Amino acid sequence: MFIDIKSSFRPAIVMTLLFALLLGIAYPLALTGIGQALFPHQANGSLIEQDGRTIGSALIGQSFTSARYFHPRPSAAGKGYDGMASSGSNLGPASKALADRVAQDIKTGATSPGRPIPSDLVTASASGLDPHISPDAAYYQADRVASARGLAPATVRKLIDDSIERPLLGFIGEPRVNVLEINRRLDRISANQSR
């Protein structure tokens, strides 16, 4: 047994150092170099520029509170869509805090009273940074957005129709609407109308 232990020291220490250099330093740095060279947009966070400023990432959700915009899902990341504090609510199915929060969100967000509210619109996402809502959740908000902007409801519905991303091959993923993207399109429609 003692000889087994003694014979292990040199390989254990030297292998640790060698693999630390190879896997802990060379591997991530080499990929950073290759990634930055081949896919600079994605490697730096898929950032969106508009009028010379960075307005967000195509992949990360952000808060919208104005009635003029489509609203994203409730977020448990920090105080909401905190990009440095990703988190779900972690509330269990029989949690009073969950039931109270959903009831409150329905009260403030139910712009189409009488219609059942789409599940994703009142539930917190897993990351707190979900960039998408379901098509149902978008249609649910269409009338509010249309009236706040003085647009025809049909225009807003048409915009939603055009903004739906479909599942790959029909079954990988879910139909969804990117909230930041559709809100940017809304702004463009309003800008064109006022011109």
* Sites for other proteins among residues 87-146 (CB under 8 A): 87-96, 98-99, 102-103, 106, 110, 116-120, 122-134, 136
Please tell me whether residue 159 binds other proteins under the rule CB under 8 A: no
Q: Closer CB to other proteins, residue 140 or residue 146?
A: 140
Q: Which residues contact 63 (CB under 8 A, 6 or more apart)?
A: 72, 75, 80, 81
Chain centre to alpha carbon of residue 188: 22
Cβ-based nearer residue to other proteins, 91 or 189: 91
Window of 83-91, 141-149, 150-158 that interacts with other proteins by CB under 8 A = 83-91
Q: Does 39 bind other proteins (CB under 8 A)?
A: yes
Rg of the Cα trace of the chain? 24
What single-letter amino acid sits at 39? F
Angle at 152 between CA 146 and CA 158, to 5 degrees: 85
Can residue 52 be called a binding residue for other proteins (CB under 8 A)?
A: no
Among 150, 153, 154, 167, interactor with other proteins by CB under 8 A: 167
Please identify, among the stretches 9-17, 141-149, 152-160, the one whose residues bind other proteins according to the rule CB under 8 A. 9-17
**CB contact burial 45-57 (16+ within 10 A = b; e otherwise):** eeebeeeeeeebb
Interaction of residue 148 with other proteins, rule CB under 8 A: no
**Six token digits for residue 155:** 């225009």
